[in-house]
């Protein structure tokens, strides 16, 4: 009786270790989020996101200079933070810009997911990036809350007479909620945070400087676009913008800020056009950067 043929052993040459395949998930996540960024930018573009650019553009070149500084501010301060924590190379600015774009055109904190995936691909730079990304993100929120409470404390004595009882109650409820949202992180800081205490305070300080710098720069950009309004008024509006965007119980933050701005400067249509212009410029900058990053990646891959 003939013996049954022994099946040939499978060719293992093309297989990869499971551990190696598992390590590829950050690359897949980063690529997926990049594609979503492109889709999000396309949606904004075809949804009329650049309509603000069709209006009259400011003629003062200082407006564009300050806008560029304002646009580059957030990723630059993030780079300062992670340069100190991880010694990331200058190429990390690309990942940080993508982080910012993802947060603005996709879901909130999708940028942090992208940056975490980027860091996971570079384990020679940092062995466990999750703790630092988590700490920096939480401290950013706490710094924003702290600056908002500071703005409320400074502005309330001057504006309390302008608030109706219902508006005052909403403001106080929002302040209480902001404080309550930050309190658990402060009480359980030893369990929540991974970085040393000194590093945490340093990161918190950088975030506060970022928020102040951003608020001052956008005020100057507004001023150079509408010089008939004094810089002091624009700084006041910038503080109001920070406050409106952070209050959790306000249903329509854009409407609140627009109402406050119109009450202060009395130029509703011009202000609306200016806001649309800045939004359009930001979207255009996002598109240019994403296209540039894609071209850079393509050229780098070809020369590798």
Alpha carbon distance 174, 269 (integer Å): 29
Q: What confidence score (pLDDT) does residue 8 get? A: 45
Q: Are 296 and 94 in contact, with CB atoms under 8 Å apart?
A: yes
How many CB atoms are located within 10 Å of the residue 81 CB?
23
**Pick from 100, 92, 36, 107: which is nearest to 70 by CA?**
100
What is the pTM (predicted TM-score) of this model? 0.78
* pLDDT tens-place string over residues 212-237: 999 999 999 999 998 988 888 888 88
Q: What is the 3-state secondary structure (H, E, C) of the chain?
A: CCCCCCCCCCCCCCCCCHHHHHCCHHHHHHHHHHHHHHHHHHHHHHHHHCHHHHCCCCCCHHHHHHHHHHHHHHHHHHHHHHHHHHCCCCCHHHHHHHHHHHHHHCCCCHHHHHHHHHHHCCCCCCCCHHHHHHHHHHHHHHHHHHHHHHHHHHHHHHHHHHCCHHHHHHHHHHHHHHHHHHHHHHHCHHHHCCCCHHHHHHHHHHHHHHHHHHHHHHHHHHHHHCCCCCHHHHHHHHHHHHHHHHCCCCCCHHHHHHHHHHHHHCCHHHHHHHHHHHHHHHHHHHHHHHHHHHHHHHHHHHHC
Q: What confidence score (pLDDT) does residue 9 get? A: 39
* pLDDT tens-place string over residues 14-67: 333 334 444 555 555 555 656 666 666 566 555 555 555 556 688 899 999 999
pLDDT tops 90 at residue 200: yes
Structure tokens at 115: 């940056």
Q: What confidence score (pLDDT) does residue 193 get? A: 92
73 falls in which pLDDT band (50, 70, 90)? very high
Q: What confidence score (pLDDT) does residue 6 get? A: 44
Q: Are 222 and 239 in contact, with CB atoms under 8 Å apart?
A: no
Q: What confidence score (pLDDT) does residue 65 get? A: 96
114 falls in which pLDDT band (50, 70, 90)? confident
Structure tokens at 292: 């540039």
Q: Are 100 and 74 in contact, with CB atoms under 8 Å apart?
A: yes
Percent of the chain scored above 70 by pLDDT?
71
Q: What confidence score (pLDDT) does residue 78 get? A: 95
Percent of the chain scored above 90 by pLDDT?
21
Q: What confidence score (pLDDT) does residue 20 get? A: 41
Q: How many CA atoms lie within 13 A of 132 on its CB side?
A: 22
Question: Helix crossing, 129-159 with 231-246: angle to 10°?
Answer: 120
Q: Residue range 184-190: average pLDDT?
A: 86
* pLDDT tens-place string over residues 288-303: 888 888 887 777 776 6
Q: What confidence score (pLDDT) does residue 209 get? A: 95
Which of 301 and 69 is assigned the larger pLDDT? Answer: 69
């Amino acid at each position: 009786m003939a013996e049954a043929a022994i099946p040939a052993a499978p060719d293992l040459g093309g297989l990869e270790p499971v551990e190696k395949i598992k390590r590829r998930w950050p690359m897949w996540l980063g690529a997926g989020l990049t594609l979503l960024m492109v889709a999000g930018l396309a949606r904004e573009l075809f949804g009329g996101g650049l309509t603000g650019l069709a209006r009259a553009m400011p003629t003062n070149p200082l407006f564009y200079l300050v806008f560029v500084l304002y646009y580059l501010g957030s990723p630059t301060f993030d780079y300062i933070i992670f340069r100190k924590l991880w010694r990331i190379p200058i190429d990390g600015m690309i990942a940080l810009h993508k982080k910012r774009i993802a947060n603005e055109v996709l879901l909130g904190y999708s940028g942090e997911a992208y940056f975490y995936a980027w860091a996971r691909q570079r384990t020679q730079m940092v062995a466990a990036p999750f703790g630092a990304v988590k700490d920096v993100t939480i401290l950013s929120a706490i710094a924003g809350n702290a600056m908002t409470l500071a703005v409320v404390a400074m502005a309330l004595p001057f504006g309390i007479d302008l608030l109706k009882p219902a508006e005052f109650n909403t403001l106080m409820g929002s302040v209480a909620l902001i404080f309550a949202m930050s309190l658990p992180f402060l009480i359980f800081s030893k369990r929540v945070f991974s970085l040393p205490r000194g590093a945490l305070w340093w990161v918190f300080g950088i975030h506060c400087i970022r928020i102040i710098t951003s608020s001052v720069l956008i005020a100057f950009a507004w001023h150079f676009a509408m010089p008939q309004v004094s810089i002091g008024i624009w700084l006041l509006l910038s503080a109001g913008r920070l406050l409106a965007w952070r209050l959790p119980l306000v249903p329509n933050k854009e409407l609140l800020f627009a109402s406050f701005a119109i009450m202060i400067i009395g130029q509703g249509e011009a202000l609306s056009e200016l806001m649309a212009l800045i939004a359009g410029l930001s979207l255009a900058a996002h598109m240019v950067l994403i296209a540039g990053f894609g071209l850079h990646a393509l050229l780098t891959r070809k020369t590798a």
